Amino acid sequence: MTMSQFLISGHLYEHVKWFIDDDGWMSLPIKVIITPGFLFWLGITLLVMLFATIINKQIERNRFVSKILSFLNRFSCYQLTIFRIGIGLGLLLQLCTGSYLAPTFMIDSWWVYASLIVAILGLFHRRLLPLSGLAIAFLYLNAVYQYGLFHSLDYLFYLGIIYYLFAVNSRLKLSALPVLYTLTGISLAWLSMEKMTMPGLAQTLMYEYRIPTFGFSIQEFVLISAFIELALGWVLILGIMNRFTALIITGVFLLTTAVFGFTEVVGHLVIHTLLIMFLIEGKGEPKALYQFHQPMWLRCMFVVVNFCMLLGGLMTSYIWMQQL
């Protein structure tokens, strides 16, 4: 297998292709993507993130919000149990449907079945969690080999799960959740590039399933969705309003489940487990990334400038890998 084949052998398996069979889509060039509408919604996204950065502390100090946060904090001791049960159920659903890690990754050999079973059984006991992590790592590497790195990056959060399984009972315990936050955020941000660089793909899905656009044109709605997905991924990485972010993403996934049905349940049950953990834990420890800057104007600059760098870097990489 050549390097280009390794990178993109799965270029026909984009995320929305859980539901669309047409495989002729290619990324648009950047000069076509960046339009006045694109820049307008980028500006709106930056303003919303600035607002979230500024009011984050004030919201946490609100009496009503504080009571909710205190209630959620009571469940922190059950975090690992929720993780083990949720991930186990997600993997079990995949096993029952003949897939692994994602609905489009089909099991085609006995050792993939065996690895999936080992990953599930390893979740039954705390001391066996590294074994489960090792099995999931094998499954992810197999997905990269079989479908290509390009498509496997959609599911980068599995690397966070693997790290969590290895670290949660070790001296690296404090880093387990931040790494999970970061890789889940990057995975979500990477997914947004599909809508941003290949908008026709998502537009076709919306036509076929008659998804409402709430007064926007289909083109605008897809672009807005892409920016929302990218922004939610970025705030997960930064640690801004993580509980609120987890709640929003969970709500969106529940709505899409009503539209797409069982395939959506299989594909997103593992993510739902992570979001429940984020909802319970909040920003967690250590200190959220953006809080290393004390002056508010520096925090705002950090959030905005690095978001633009993330957008540019991901878009360039996505287009390059998809068109190889």
Q: What is the pLDDT of residue 5?
A: 44
Tens digit of pLDDT per residue, the chain (324 long)? 444 444 444 443 345 555 555 455 778 889 899 999 999 999 999 998 888 888 877 776 777 777 877 888 888 888 899 999 999 999 999 999 999 998 888 898 889 999 999 999 999 999 999 999 999 999 999 999 988 888 889 899 999 999 999 999 999 888 888 899 899 999 999 989 988 998 888 777 777 767 777 788 888 888 998 998 899 888 888 877 667 766 777 676 666 655 556 666 777 788 888 888 888 876 555 455 555 556 777 888 888 899 999 999 999 999 988 777
Cα–Cα dist 197/159, whole Å: 25
Q: What residue spans of the chain are helical by DSSP H?
A: 3-8, 30-33, 36-61, 63-73, 79-96, 110-121, 129-147, 149-152, 157-167, 173-197, 199-209, 218-238, 242-260, 262-281, 296-322
- Cβ pair 315, 29 in contact under 8 A: no
| Burial class of 256 by CB neighbour count within 10 A (0 to 12, 13 to 18, 19+) | middle
Nearest to 73 by CA among 222, 285, 310: 285
Nearest to 38 by CA among 196, 201, 234: 196
Q: Is 100 helix (H, G, I), strand (E, B) or coil?
A: strand
Cα–Cα dist 321/324, whole Å: 5
Cα–Cα dist 310/324, whole Å: 21
Q: Is 169 helix (H, G, I), strand (E, B) or coil?
A: coil
- Cβ pair 118, 131 in contact under 8 A: yes
Q: What is the pLDDT of residue 148?
A: 86
Model pTM?
0.86
Adjacent-strand bridge partners of 102? 100
Which tokens is 221 given?
Answer: 């709605």
Angle 104-108-109 (CA atoms, 0-180°, nearest 5)? Answer: 140
Q: What is the pLDDT of residue 10?
A: 42
